[in-house]
Chains A and B, each alone.
Chain A
C-alpha cells in the first residue's frame, strides 16, 4: 500500500498531461501512487499515460462524468492514507507531497493540508502573480470568504477526514461521492466549505507556493454568469446546514466573489461587465474595501478606466493590478 495517492482527473488532456505527470513523478517523497482518471477522453490521453510505463501510475477509465465525478472515481480507487489532487494541466513542485505528508503526520487533527500556488500561463511560464493564502487558524468563515485552499490542485487530504464527507446519493449505483457531481463549477469551494462546516477536522496550510496553477486565457463573459450562478447554488445548498453562519457571512463572501469575477471580466477586456460586477460587489458588502483596500481599489479603478478610456488606460492599471495578489 502506498502512503499517498495523487488523483489526476483528465479529460482530453493529452497536451498537458505529460508535464503534469513528470512533475508528480519527480516528487521527493517516494511512497506514492498516481491515479489518473480518464474521464471519457476522445483524444490520446490514455495512450499518453501508458507511454510512461511507470508502475506508480494507474489508469481508471470511465464514461464522462465531469471533473467532480473524475475526482470521486480517483478517491474511490486510491489506496493511500493521504490523498492529493492535481488537475491534468497543473504542476506540483518536487517537495509538495513531502511537505504535506510531514504536516499531516505531525498534526493528527489536521484533515486537509494545503499550500499556496504560483500561477503559470499556457506555456508554463510563471505569471507575476501568486496565491499566498492564510495558513493557520483557518475557520469555515475563512474558507467561505477567502478560500485559502485556493484551487483543486492544492489540497492533500487525510483519507479518514475525506471519508467524513462521503455519501451515496439515491441515484448513484457505482460508488460513493465526496465531491458533489451535480456541480460543474464551484465544486471545489462546495467541497472545502462542506468539509469545514460538517466535520471537526482542521484545515491548515504549509508554507511555500507548492502548486503551479495554470490560468487559461480568454473565456467568455457568459461564463462569469455561470460561475456566479454556481457559487450562489453552493450557498443555497449549504445554507440550511448552518443558517446563522450564512446569514452572517454570505453578503461579504459574495462581495469577494463578485470582485473576483470583476477581475476576470477585466482580464477579458470587458469593461462594462467589470464595472457592473464591481458595483454589485460593493452593493453586497463594503468589507473587501476595508479588509483589502489596495486590491479592491485597484479593481474598481482598473474597471472604470477600462470602461471609460478603453484598453490602453486599463492596461496601465493592469501592471498595478497584477502585482497585487490574485484570488
Chain B
C-alpha cells in the first residue's frame, strides 16, 4: 500500500489542524494511501525518520527553515516531495512583508525543492503564478476540506439575523478589531456579537468592546460546531486568509458569511459568501447593517456547492507526481 507522510510543525488548533485530522481519518483518503501525520521540530524536518512513498510538507517556509528543507530534499532524493502552502498569500505579504523582493526569492527557492506545490485556494494559486514563484506545471489547487456532516446537522437559526459570530484566533490576521468597532456603530440594542477564540489580541479587543454589553468573548471553542450553533451569521473581516476554512464550515451550518474578500475568501464568494464592499470599519458597518433583520436563508446560496472529492484531487496529484518520478527513474536506467 502507498504510504504518504504529512509533515507538520504546528499543531495548534485551527484550520490546518482540522484539515490534517480529516486527511488522516477520511475513508476515501485511506483507500488511496496510508496517511500518516508526522510532527517534526520547527526548521529541522529532516531530523525525523520518515518511511514513505510520498512526503507532503505542511510546514511554514522561512529563511531560517530553508536549510532544513534542503536537508529534507537531500535525505529523500528519490521520494516525491509535495508542499502545501498554508501560510502565505497576497494579503499576508501586504500586511507583514516590507522586503518583498527578498520574500518572493525565498518562496521561489523553497518551492524549487519540491516536485509539486499545492495552493489551498484558486486565489492563492493565481497569486503564486502572478508573482512567478512557482512553475505553472508544478502548481495544483486543492481546497482543504473537513467533515461537514456535523455542521450540516446543526439546527438552522429560526429568526432573522441578530447574532453575529466571529470565530478564530484573536490575532492581527483575523481583523476582529475592525469588527468590534464596526459592530459598535450598529445601533440596534437587540444585536449581539459573539467572539469565539483566544490569542494575543484578546486584551485589546476587550478594551475596544468595553461598555457595549452586546459584545461577548466566549473563549476558544474546542468544538467549532458549538460556535456556529450559537450565532445567526458569521463575519470574517480577515486581512489575509490563504483559504479560510471557517467560511466553508459556516455555510455548511446554514450561517450566512460576510467576508473581506481577500485571498482565499474570494473562493468562498463563488460558493455563496457575501463580500463586503471596500475595506475598513465604515464599510463593514454598512455591510453588517444590510444583513441585520434578514432571514439567514435569504442570504445563503440556494444549493450547497458541489465540491470535487478531496481524495479524487489528491489521487490525481499523487498519480501525476509518481508517474513523473517513475519516468525519471526509467530515463536514468536507460
Contact = CB atoms under 8 A, between A and B. Distances in A.
B131 A109 contact: yes
A126 to B, nearest CB: 35
A167 B279 contact: yes
Contacts of B130: 108, 160
Interface stretch (A48-56, A237-245, A287-295): A237-245
A221 B181 CA distance: 35
Counting contact residues on chain A (CB < 8 A from B), the size range is: 20 to 34
A240 B104 contact: no
Contact of B100 (A198, A200, A237, A240): A200
B90 interface: yes
A108 B133 CA distance: 12
Given A109-B104, A167-B278, A200 B94 contact: yes
A218 interface: no
Interface residues of B, number: 31
Contacts of A139: 98
A170 interface: yes
Nearest to B276: A167
A108 B132 contact: yes
A197 interface: yes
Nearest to A164: B90
B303 interface: no
Contacts of B283: 167, 169
B154 interface: no
Given A241-B178, A243-B177, A198 B277 contact: no
B48 interface: no
Nearest to A243: B177
Given A167-B277, A200-B127, A238-B280, 5 more contacts: A139-B98, A170-B277, A197-B95, A200-B90, A200-B91
27 contacts: A109-B104, A139-B98, A141-B98, A160-B130, A167-B279, A168-B277, A169-B277, A169-B278, A169-B283, A198-B94, A198-B279, A199-B90, A200-B91, A200-B92, A200-B93, A200-B100, A200-B127, A200-B131, A202-B100, A202-B101, A240-B177, A240-B178, A240-B181, A240-B281, A241-B178, A241-B280, A242-B95
Interface of B: 90-95, 97-101, 104, 127, 130-132, 172, 177-178, 181, 239, 277-283, 286-287, 290
